[in-house]
Amino acid sequence: MTTQTAARRIVTNMTLSLDGRYARQENPIDMSWVMPYAVSDVARDHLTSLWEPATTALLGRVNAEGFLGFWPTVIGMEGADPRDEAFAKWLVDVDKTVLSSTLDSAPWERTTVLNKPAPEVADDLKSTPGGDILVLSSASVIKPLLAADKVDRLSLMVLPLFLGAGPRLFDDGLPAANWTLTRKVVGDGGELSLTYDRAR
């Protein structure tokens, strides 16, 4: 794990369909459309590139429950990809901040629960020492950060399919912003790993 002394970055990660959706309309927690691509080398390397420089995970409650309910079970799992197991260990060991208006305390180790606006939490975390602050697939956190122009690095896995309906990551009315493409990898299945840095 890398510890940086320079200004910390807010790094967000989301998987999108080609028509810009991050979830199905009829069943937002159904991620079956993602799974064929999530096990590709491109997706695994994409995630590794994100967590290795990060020393804090920032999550919404729903994603925290999903991620922390599943990933610890990968540790020691027979046949697990080493990259998956490494991410699982990082997620268990890293400092986590979970944004929630319903949780009073965290059922997970090394976790702080806050009922505060995401941009305020991002500013507070950036004022402390450490590496990247990684927001893992939590649209409820990423969308207000984008609206407040708090995202320093935007990482996307774009999958070659249309969902046809469902919530979009990029809402109308976002502040105008320029982004620099810093990483691009194309998978054999047509999936794209894209990383953009905010040009300030």
CATH of the domain at 81: 3.40.430.10
Task: Indicate whether 142 belongs to any domain.
Answer: yes
Task: Indicate whether 178 belongs to any domain.
Answer: yes
Residues 173 and 22: their CA atoms lie apart, in Å, by 19
Task: Indicate whether 19 belongs to any domain.
Answer: yes
The answer, yes or no, to whether residue 88 has pLDDT greater than 50, is yes
Task: Indicate whether 151 belongs to any domain.
Answer: yes
Average pLDDT, the chain: 94
Q: Virtual CA dihedral for 45, 50, 54, 57, nearest 10 degrees?
A: -110
Question: CA angle at residue 33 from 32 to 39, to 5 degrees?
Answer: 80
Task: Indicate whether 103 belongs to any domain.
Answer: yes
Task: Indicate whether 2 belongs to any domain.
Answer: no
Does the predicted TM-score (pTM) go above 0.85?
Answer: yes
Q: Strand 10-17 relative to strand 132-136: parallel, antiparallel, unpaired?
A: parallel
Q: What are the backbone dihedrals phi and psi of residue 168, each rounded to the nearest 5 degrees, phi first?
A: -105, 150
Tell me, rounded to whole angstroms, the distance of Cα 93 from its chain centroid: 17
Please report the pLDDT score of residue 2 as a whole number.
Answer: 43
Residue 57 belongs to what domain range? 10-199
Task: Indicate whether 5 belongs to any domain.
Answer: no
- What domain count does the chain have? 1
Are the C-beta atoms of 5 and 128 separated by less than 8 Å?
Answer: no
106 band by pLDDT with thresholds 50, 70 and 90: confident
90 band by pLDDT with thresholds 50, 70 and 90: very high
Task: Indicate whether 4 belongs to any domain.
Answer: no
